[in-house]
A and B are shown apart, each in its own frame.
Chain A
Amino acid sequence: MTDITLEVNGTEKSLAVEPRRLLADVLRHEFGLSGVHIGCAHGACGCCTVHIDGVPKLSCLTFAVQCEGKAIATVESVGGPNAEHALQQAFKSEHGLQCGYCTPGFVMALIPFVNAMAAQKRMPDDDEIREAMSGNICRCTGYHGIVAAVRKAIGDQLAGEGN
């Protein structure tokens, strides 16, 4: 066992973990963050995407021992209990989810993309949006609703700035 301290969603916690334990499992079991979904556990589906020091990373390809001293954010840190983040609201209004299993991964993978586009004051074309979400698999929606949600979230941010 190795002693580590992780900062997860703003709260520090020290714990002893086996080096072989995946960050995804530690977040789910030791931190109770069930929004971290594990689909394939080998980096193919994107469900387990979290932010490490602000950067999207697959928590199934990361060992918890590697995250000592790093700031981790999961979907639980986004938008509060009512999922009020612009991207979460757009997923709802544009039918960007059905069963919801993949949704936390899409949200965490796409938030930096949405923010980057808003910062550049630019609406990406659909190909760019599809490229940005190409690491995430959804078996329900056929992706059209998700592309629409990303467009809406970026559009809302651009319109908000114009006001």
Chain B
Amino acid sequence: MRPSSFEYHKAADIEDAVRLLAEFGDEGRPIAGGQSLVPMMNLRLARPSHLVDINALALNDIEFDGQVMRIGALVRHERYASDPRVAKHFPAFMDAVHWIGHPTIRRNGSIGGSLSHADPTAELPAAAILYDASIVVRSVKGERRIAAVDFFESAYVTSLEPGELVVAVEFPLPPPGSTGSFMEIGERRGDFATASVGTALEFDGETITKAAIVCCGADLVAIRAPGIESFLVGKPLKAPQAEEAGKMFAAEVEPSSDHVASADYKRALIGELTRRAIETACARALESK
């Protein structure tokens, strides 16, 4: 199929973009890489009357200021591979990026687009929830920050108001030496995830002091696992009881069956991915010691 008619506007800068988006309200959508929006338009699942092209905006930087990693909304997925600071501070984020689509999609898709699209199994929304990131959004009214956990409301639904544009994402820097990993299972390489689990762990000596777990495939948004996170605190890196954690989490989640996998199968996958993610993160921490 082909998209329905729309008017095309090329924004010169952020002020221009938010002014246009304010003017069009519900009828306007920003476009960056188009890797999520254009499929929706071609299938007529999205029919914006106005497209505001934001590719000329100065939102292409990855900045570290000692407190946060701030990623401009137009940073393309393949960029992280050439910035060693990302893998150093956010290993689970880096793992997650490798699971995004295909090389052509990673070269063109942007973080602002992925977050705004809010696919329930997308990797970057999961990474944002795992690392307690804040989404920075702009409109003609000014700027506000939305915690990732509040940003994603349901499948393809965010708390963005009409006229608001994602301009950056801020990831608080974990303490030095923190570890993590992200695992995914999909039907095919590059396809949507059936389930994925990510973990970020902080430790003192060889004991876990803080844990975060995120999971896609269990609900309409990526979910955290507070029960499993507190279970992991105090466990040794050498024997984190990852299998037990996976079993506990699998018993707790309530995925729904779909055309790809039954609920039971997804539950089993989530349990196993949880085990693998924790073990991989712990092994990485021990390796770097």
* Alpha-carbon separation in the docked complex, A41 to B44 (Å): 12
Contact A60 B104 (CB under 8 A): no
- Pick from B1, B6, B39, B102: contact of A46, CB below 8 A: B102
Give, as a whole number of angstroms, the nearest-CB distance from A58 to chain B.
6
Number of interface residues of A (CB under 8 A): 31
* Alpha-carbon separation in the docked complex, A25 to B102 (Å): 23
Contact A61 B38 (CB under 8 A): yes
A135 and B34 in contact, given A2-B8, A65-B8 (Cβ under 8 angstroms): no
Residues of B within 8 A of A134 (CB): 102-103, 189-190
A19 and B7 in contact, given A57-B108, A61-B38, A62-B38 (Cβ under 8 angstroms): yes
Any A CB within 8 A of the CB of B105? yes
Give, as a whole number of angstroms, the nearest-CB distance from B219 to chain A.
25
Any A CB within 8 A of the CB of B53? yes
Residues of A within 8 A of B190 (CB): 134-135
Q: With contacts defined as CB atoms under 8 Å apart, how many contacts are there between chain A and chain B in the complex?
A: 82
User: Closest residue of chain A to B106, judged by CB?
Assistant: A135
* Alpha-carbon separation in the docked complex, A21 to B31 (Å): 15
A135 and B5 in contact, given A19-B51, A60-B42 (Cβ under 8 angstroms): no
Contact A22 B2 (CB under 8 A): yes
Contact A61 B101 (CB under 8 A): no
Give, as a whole number of angstroms, the nearest-CB distance from B28 to chain A.
13
Contact A42 B103 (CB under 8 A): no
Number of interface residues of B (CB under 8 A): 27
Contact A41 B189 (CB under 8 A): no
Any A CB within 8 A of the CB of B107? yes
A132 and B42 in contact, given A19-B6, A20-B4, A61-B35 (Cβ under 8 angstroms): no
Any A CB within 8 A of the CB of B43? yes
Contact with A along B2-22 (1 / 0, CB 8 A): 111111100000000000000
Enumerate the 7 nearest inter-chain pairs by beta-carbon distance, A residue then B residue, closest first.
Answer: A135-B102, A19-B8, A42-B39, A61-B38, A20-B3, A134-B189, A135-B104
| 18 more A-B residue pairs beyond the given contacts A19-B7, A20-B6, A58-B108, with a C-beta to C-beta distance below 8 A | A2-B8, A19-B51, A20-B2, A20-B4, A21-B2, A22-B3, A42-B42, A43-B35, A56-B103, A56-B107, A58-B104, A60-B42, A61-B35, A61-B38, A61-B39, A63-B8, A66-B34, A134-B103
